[in-house]
Chains A and B, each alone.
Chain A
Amino acid sequence: MAASCVSCGAVVSQRLLLRPRVSLAPRQVLWRAAELQSVPGPQILRLKHVTVVTTKKNVKALRRETYTVDFIKKQIEEFNIGKRHLANMMGEDPETFTQEDIDRAIAYLFPSGLFEKRARPVMKHPEQIFPKQKATQWGEDGRPFHYLFYTGKQSYYSLMHDTYGKILDIEKHKNQLQAKGLFSEKDKTTDLIGSRWLIKEELEEMLVEKLSDQDYAQFVRLMERLLQGGAAGEFVQSFRRSVTVQSEKQPIEPVQHDAQGMAFSTSEGRRKSAKAEAVVYEHGNGRIKINGIDYLLYFPVLQDREQLMFPFHFLDRLGKHDVTCTVSGGGRSAQAGAIRLAMARALCSFVTEEEVEWMRQAGLLTSDPRVRERKKPGQEGARRKFTWKKR
C-alpha cells in the first residue's frame, strides 16, 4: 500500500514539475497534504513530495584563493607603511622597529582576552600570513614554462633530476682523478655533525608542493648518496638544518655560600605528587638528612636508598657531598624519585658541562611525566571497565 502511494506520489510530482505554474525560484521542499480525489470511492491519502533542486547562485566553487603577485606586493607595501605609522604612534624610531616591537605594540593597543592565541589581533609580514602559492605556470598560449610541468610536482622532480646530475658529475670527476692517480680519500663527515635533514613539512614549504612520504624518503636517500660521493657543498647545506644541543637548555643553579662559608646549591624536584627540595653541600661526608631524619631511618627499603645513591654513584662522588632535604606528599617511591631529581639538579652546579650532558643522557635530569591517570565515568578505574554482562 505504502509503496504504491510513493510511486503514485512520484508520478504526481513529476507532473507537478512539468507544469510551469508551480515553478518559484528558489523553490523549497514541500510536503503537501494529499489532495482529495475527485473519484468517488474510498479515499486514499497520498503524500506528494516535491523535491526540487536549490538554485543558489551565491555558492562559489570551493577552490583555494589565488593571490596575485601584485596583490602580495601591495600588501607588503601597506605593511611597511603601517609599521612606520605604528612606530610613530608608539614613539619609537621607525627605522629600527622589529617584529617583536610590532607584536608588543599590537598587544598593547588591542588587548584581547581570547584564549585562542591564533584568534588574537596580529600584524605580521604578508609572507607569513598569506600561504605561498605558485604563479601561473603557463604562458598565454597555454604552454607551460617548466619542462616537467606535466609530472604534477615539477619543482620536486627537477630537484631530484639536478641532484642526480650532480652525483653523475662527481662520479665522472672521481673517475678522471683515479685515471690520473690523483684521487685521495678525504674526510667529509665533519660538516654534518649538529645538523639534520629537512623534515617533510619543511621540504614541502620550500618547494611549495605537496609530497608523499615515499617522495620524501626517496629525496633523503638521494641526498645521502650524493654525500657519499663527494664533499658536502652549498647545495647540500641548503637542505640541512642545525640541531640545537639539548644540554644548553638545562638551567644550572648558581652556587651559594652560607654563614660558615660552605658552598652549597639548592634545587627542587617533583615526582607524582611528591615535592622535594635538596640542598647539596660541596664538601661533606656523604650524609643525607631528609626532614631532619637520617636517610637510613627514613627509607628502610633498599630500593629507595639506591635511588638516592644513583646521581652520586654515576658521577663517582659517593662520599663527597652532604645533603639536607625536605620532602612532602606522594608515597615512598615518589618521594625517593623526587629527592633524586632534586639532588641531580643541584649537583649540576658542581660538575663540568660534559658531565651534565652525561647525566641528562642517563635520564637523571628529566622529571618523570607519569602521573596517576584519572578514573573515568562508566568505568571502574582508569582503564578497567565494569564486568561485561551479556544480559
Chain B
Amino acid sequence: MMMKGGNKVLARSLMTQTLEAVKRKQFKKFHAASSEEQATIERNPYTIFHQALKNCEPVIGLAPILKGGRFYQVPVPLSDRRRRFLAMKWMITECREKKHRRTLMPEKLSQELLQAFHNQGPVVKRKHDMHKMAEANRALAHYRWW
C-alpha cells in the first residue's frame, strides 16, 4: 500500500528509513532513561512494527447493508486478513493526510508506529471509534445473513 505507480524501490526505501527512524528514536530514549526503564524499552524495530499493527487491528467491522431502501451500518465479524489490511490502510492514510506538508513519510510513520505501540495515537483512536460504532449498532446485527 505504500507503493505508488509500481515504484517498489521507493516504497522499500521509505520502509527502511521508517524502521531506521524508529530504531534511532528508541535508542535515544534508551540512552536517556534510567536503568529500570531501560529494561522496558523495546529497541527492535520489527517487533515494534508488528506490535503496533496488531494494536491497530479492529476486532469487529461495519458493513453497509441495504434493507428497505436504506443503508444500515451493521456490525460484522472480520477475517484475519481483513483486519490486518484495515490496520495497515488506516496507518498509511493517516500518515499521508494528517501531516504537515514538509514532514516526510518515514518520520511521520515512525511517530505513528511508536504511538500505536503504546496504544495511543490517532490510529488506535480510530479503531476504538469503529468498536464504539459497532457497539452502538448492536441492534442491527440481525440484518446480517451470513
Contact = CB atoms under 8 A, between A and B. Distances in A.
A303 B8 CA distance: 9
B24 interface: no
Tell me if A's interface is mostly helix, strand, loop or mixed.
helix
A297 interface: no
B9 interface: yes
B132 interface: no
Interface string B1-37: 0000000110010000000000000000000000000
A303 B10 CA distance: 12
A95 B75 CA distance: 76
A301 interface: yes
Contacts of B12: 302-303
A302 B11 CA distance: 12
Contacts of A301: 9
Contacts of A302: 12
Contacts of A303: 8-9, 12
Interface residues of A, number: 3
B5 to A, nearest CB: 16
A241 B42 CA distance: 54
A300 to B, nearest CB: 9
Interface string A300-325: 01110000000000000000000000
Interface string A47-86: 0000000000000000000000000000000000000000
A68 to B, nearest CB: 54
A301 B8 CA distance: 10
Contacts of B9: 301, 303
B40 to A, nearest CB: 33
Contacts of B8: 303
Nearest to A300: B9
A302 B9 CA distance: 9
Interface string B98-134: 0000000000000000000000000000000000000
Nearest to A302: B12
A303 B9 CA distance: 8
Interface string A275-319: 000000000000000000000000001110000000000000000
Nearest to A333: B8
Nearest to A301: B9
A114 B8 CA distance: 49
A133 B8 CA distance: 61
A272 to B, nearest CB: 15
A359 B98 CA distance: 45
A156 to B, nearest CB: 34
Interface in A2-20: none
A301 B9 CA distance: 7
B3 to A, nearest CB: 12
A302 B8 CA distance: 11
A282 to B, nearest CB: 34
B20 to A, nearest CB: 14
A219 to B, nearest CB: 30
A12 B94 CA distance: 82
B19 to A, nearest CB: 13
A115 B128 CA distance: 65
Interface in A89-109: none
Nearest to B13: A302
Nearest to B8: A303
A66 B35 CA distance: 92
A306 to B, nearest CB: 10
A175 to B, nearest CB: 44
Interface in B81-111: none
Nearest to B9: A301
By Cβ-Cβ distance, the 3 closest A-B pairs, closest first, are A301-B9, A303-B12, A303-B8
5 contacts: A301-B9, A302-B12, A303-B8, A303-B9, A303-B12
